Amino acid sequence: MREYNFDGLVGPTHQYAGLSHGNLASTKHRGTLGNPRAAALQGLGKMQTLARLGVGQAVLPPQPRPLVGALRALGFAGTHAQVLVAAHQEAPELLLACSSASAMWAANAATVAPSTDTGDGRVHFTVANLSSMFHRSLEARQTEATLSAIFADESRFVVHPALPSGTHFSDEGAANHTRLLVPGVNALHLFGWGRRGFGNQANLPSRFPARQTLEASQAVARLHQLPQESILFWQQAPQGIDQGAFHTDVLAVGHNHFFLFHEQAFCEPEKLEAELQRRLSGQLVLRRVSEAELGVPEAVQSYLFNSQLVTLPAGGMAILVPEEVRANSQAEALLQQLLAEPNPLCSILDADVNASMKNGGGPACLRLRVVLSDQEVQSVRGRVFLDEALGLELTTFIGRRYRDQLALEDLRDPMFLLEVETLLDELTQILQLGSIYPFQR
C-alpha cells in the first residue's frame, strides 16, 4: 500500500474574493488582484517537489468557472453573456462566488478510506457537500463526476455522492479527518467535528461558525463500512475555531504513526491523547504543542499544522512547510525543535504556495490523500499520476493558457468563459480523462 497525494490544480479563475467567513487569510486579502498563472505554477511546483523525491503524486483538474448554471438557478436569464453581465451589475458577490477556484483545496473534496480498512475491501470516497459555504457547495456535483471518471473501476472503488445538504449534515471532507496507522495495529480514523446537527448545541464557538457536524462524520464512517474499533469522533475546540482554525487540519496534522497537534485543536486534549494511545497500543508518536510554544494566532498565520507529512522512500518522514513558517520566528523555532526531538521527522521541505496561503490554504489543503495498492493504481483511469513528462507538459500548458492577471470585470466577459472552457477541454485531453465537464457533452 502506498499513499498518493491527489493535488487540485489551481484553476484559471483564481482570485481573492474573501468568501470564507472564519478563514482569516481569506478575509484579509479580499479584493487583491489575482494571478492565476503564478498560483497554478506554485501548486504544480509543490507537486513536482514531492514527485521528484519519490512520494506518490497525482493531479486533479480544476472545475469549470464561472458557473453559469448556478447563476441561472438564482434567477439570471438570457444568453451566457447576458447572465454574466446581469450578475456583475446586480449581484457582483454572486458572480464572484460562482467563479471561485476553491476546488483547488482538494483536502475538502472528499473523505477517503483505503481498501484495507473497509468492510467490502474497496477504496471508498464520500464527496463533501461543503454546505456551510455557498461557493464551496457548488463543487460537489463536479467533484463526484471527476472522481467517478478517475476511479471508475467499481470492483475496486466506490464514489459516494455528497451527503444531503443543509446544516445537519455539513461535511467538509478530509480536512476534518486523519487516518493514523501503527504497524501491526489496525488503522484508526480520527474524525474531527465542530457541532452537532441534532440535540445538544452547547460548547459552540461564538465568533466563527463550526462547519463539520458529528452526524456527517458518523454517516461517512458508515458509508465506508469502517469497524467501530477503527473510528474515533472528537470535537474541535471552540476556542480554536474562534481564532481561525475552521478545519481540524489548521491545528493538527497526522501521518501513519505520528500525530502533531495544538492543545487548542480539540476539546480535552489529554483525554484524546489517552484514547489514541489506548486504541493504537501505545505506539503512536504524539506531540502536543502548547500555547506557550506557539500561540494559535501564530499557528493560523504560519499554517505550520497545515504542512504536509510524507514518508520518504528511503525511510523517515519529511514535513513540507509553507514559506510563511520560516518567516514566523515562533513557528520556525518550534519546527527546529520538532526536528531535534525523537520522532519520525528527519527533514524539512519548503514550498512557495503564497497564492494559496493568501486565501487560507496551506500545502495540506491542496491535496487529497489516497492510499492505494499496486493493483488499484493500475485500475486508475487517465494520465493523472505526475511524472517528469506530465509535469513539463502542465508547466508549458499553464504558461500558455493561464492569465497572469484577473479582476472582477474579467468574469463578466463571455469571451473569458469561452477561454476557460477551451483551456479545460485541452487539459482533459492532456490528462486523458474524457468528457468530464457538462460543457463537453
* Residue 354 CB partners (closer than 8 Å, separation 6+): 42, 322, 323, 324
pLDDT at 30 over 80: no
Look over the chain and give the mean of its residue pLDDT values, rounded to a whole number: 95
pLDDT of residue 186: 84
pLDDT, one tens digit per residue, over 239-257 is 999 999 999 999 999 999 9
Rg (CA), the chain: 21
The yes-or-no verdict on residue 281 having pLDDT over 90 is yes
pLDDT in tens, 135-175: 999 999 999 999 999 999 999 999 999 999 989 999 999 99
CA contacts within 13 A on the Cβ side of 200: 2
Phi then psi for residue 401, to 5 deg, are: -105, -30
User: What one-letter code names the amino acid at 297?
Assistant: P
- Can you give the pLDDT at residue 48? 98
pLDDT in tens, 67-97: 999 999 999 999 999 999 999 999 999 999 9
Q: Which residues 6+ apart lie within 8 Å of 409 measured at CB?
A: 88
pLDDT, tens only, 362-418: 999 999 999 999 999 999 999 999 999 999 999 999 999 999 999 989 999 999 999
pTM of the model: 0.95
Average pLDDT over residues 345-372: 93
Identified catalytic residue from 124, 135, 247, 257: 247
Whole-angstrom distance, CA of residue 163 vs CA of residue 149: 20
For the beta sheet containing 56-60, the strands, ordered from the edge strand earlier in sequence to the opposite edge, are 56-60, 2-8, 367-372
Residue ranges with strand state E in 9-156: 56-60, 110-113, 123-127
Catalytic residue among 88, 144, 255, 365: 365
Asked if residues 363 and 321 have their Cβ atoms less than 8 Å apart, the reply is yes
pLDDT computed for residue 21 by the predictor: 65
Neighbours of 148 (CB within 10 A): 18
d(CA 250, CA 253): 8
pLDDT tens string 174-203: 999 999 999 888 899 999 999 999 988 889
What mean pLDDT is predicted for residues 308-336? 95
Q: Tell me the average pLDDT across 424-432.
A: 98
What secondary structure letter does DSSP report for 213? B
The residue length of the chain stands at 441
- State the pLDDT at residue 184: 87
Distance in angstroms (rounded) separating the CA atoms of residues 58 and 249: 21
Known active-site residue 172? yes
Determine the 3-state secondary structure of 36 from DSSP. helix
- β-bridge mates for residue 351, sequence order: 322
Annotation marks residue 177 as catalytic: no
The answer, yes or no, to whether residue 22 has pLDDT greater than 70, is no
Q: What is the mean pLDDT of residues 215-226?
A: 98
Of the pLDDT bands very low, low, confident and very high (cuts 50, 70, 90), residue 357 is confident
The single residue of 144, 172, 263, 376 carrying the catalytic annotation is 172
pLDDT at 24: 65
Question: DSSP H helical segments within 74-197, as ranges?
Answer: 80-90, 92-97, 134-137, 140-150
What is the signed CA dihedral for 397, 2, 236, 242, rounded to 10 degrees? -20
Report residue 324 as a C-alpha cell: 510563511
Among residues 7, 28, 31, 26, the alpha carbon closest in space to that of 409 is found at: 31
Contact 430, 383 (CB under 8 A): yes
Predicted local confidence at residue 202, as pLDDT: 83
With cut-offs at 50, 70 and 90, classify the pLDDT of residue 29. low
Distance CA 95, CA 83 (A): 10
